[in-house]
Structure 1
């Protein structure tokens, strides 16, 4: 009897130990499973967050690069514009000499019977216009027709244009010396003789009152008359008395 009781006690003890071990293992397994389930998403989430952050940083860096590129481009454009502005600004603001310039060749000019002429120089009329009767020339000591007028003037005196027009020719001859011919429109032409210091050329366009030269020493044809300006007005090559149009200022 005692031996049987002893065996039953050992079996019960073994069963209790076994149950305890199984229970402990079960609790441990359950705990591990729960922890695994609890933390199963974290690593991936952490990785995703880091990747997202890295991607955001990469995007931000790309945006920064784009912004820097835009800034560089804008700076280059600004520099280019500034350079262009400087280039453009230099030309209009170049130092200019204050001079009275003749109008361009396209400037309009005309003359009619109702218009007037400026005196080329101020002085006495020493030989009058005459094509019907001869007038006396002291130097030549003879009477002859005169299709122009001769105005006394000191050497070096400024000579101005009697009317606006365009230069037809600048020539020299024995009688009137350096001679300037100006077309003033509507078949009217003015001729100035006994000049010097003429800088105008054929095609030059001038305005009334503009300086065209200065009075030169008289030619041998006017030695007795003294220095003067020879002035002639023609219409369609026919001489016209200029004193009809000349007005005192």
Structure 2
């Protein structure tokens, strides 16, 4: 019999049992390193698996976070674009409103201007309007009356058989000549003359050769102050080199009325001296006025 001590206790065993026990202990000692290695490998695999799971979970969480951030960014961009579009629509609406207001003001200003023009055309005095014909339009020493009508000349009649008063008494120093040229002393050249030039001292009164209505008053380098009077049937008398003219466009005159005075000659007529430039046209074509003098 043998005694062995296990956990502080002595146990009696037989020789066979002791031999069996030793064999089992050897087996255990022999298998323990293998089991330990197995445990270690298993533990390592478990740890590796755990690390992989944790890593995958972390990546999934990070990807989910990125997706959320991306979605939030897109939402913010969409809101910004929406706000920009709203601002653009607001600005466009405001510009349309301003344009409409400007158009309204412009139209109103035009209406006011038209009303003012219409009112300005209304005569304020009975003498401002001639309704009785060319003879009764004569007023004052000069026989001049203001008239706003544009077709007053239609009241007058002049034809081939009618005559003209001489606007001034004097010699014709430059005759009418449209078929051939005549010599201009001051200019030193030959050219045609659509009018006649009648010598007269500066300050000499000039009278209307025929009754009519003033349709133009101009100033030119050649003929100075120039007055045109429509005398009817598309006949027009033109007086140039005038001074002290009191007429206005639209006024009516009677044959013999003083319409101005002879002026000092312009630089085109310094050699010829003071004279009256007198022209007669029919349908805008010049004719010889001397052929119509009384």
Whether the TM-score (by the shorter chain) exceeds 0.5 is yes
1:195 equivalenced with 2:242 (yes/no): yes
CA contact (8 A) 1:110 1:164 kept: no
CA shift, 1:231, in A, is 0.3
Aligned to 2:168: 121
CA shift, 1:102, in A, is 2.6
Structure 1: 4+ residue segments shifted above 6 A: none
Q: Which consecutive residues of structure 2, in runs of 5 or more, have no partner in the other structure? A: 1-138
Aligned to 1:152: 199
Larger CA Rg, structure 1 vs 2: 2
- What TM-score does the superposition give when structure 2 sets the normalisation length? 0.49
Residues 242, 101 of structure 1: CA spacing in aligned structure 2 closer, same or farther, 3 A cutoff?
closer
User: How well do the aligned residues superpose, as a CA RMSD in angstroms?
Assistant: 1.7
Superposition pairs for residues 26-175 of structure 1, below 5 Å? 99-102=141-144, 105=147, 108-175=155-222
Aligned to 2:224: 177
Q: Which consecutive residues of structure 1, in runs of 5 or more, have no partner in the other structure? A: 1-96
Report the number of matched residues.
151
- Give, in whole Å, the separation in 1 of the partners of 2:180 and 2:260: 32
Aligned to 1:223: 270
- Give, in whole Å, the separation in 2 of the partners of 1:132 and 1:153: 26
State the secondary structure of the residue aligned to 1:133. strand
CA shift, 1:243, in A, is 0.7
Deviations 1:7-58 (A, max 9, x none): xxxxxxxxxxxxxxxxxxxxxxxxxxxxxxxxxxxxxxxxxxxxxxxxxxxx
Higher relative contact order (CA 8 A, sep 6+): 1
CA shift, 1:142, in A, is 1.0
Deviations 1:93-152 (A, max 9, x none): xxxx97453357469322111100011100010000000100111111111000000000
- What TM-score does the superposition give when structure 1 sets the normalisation length? 0.58
Find 1:211's aligned residue among 234, 255, 258: 258
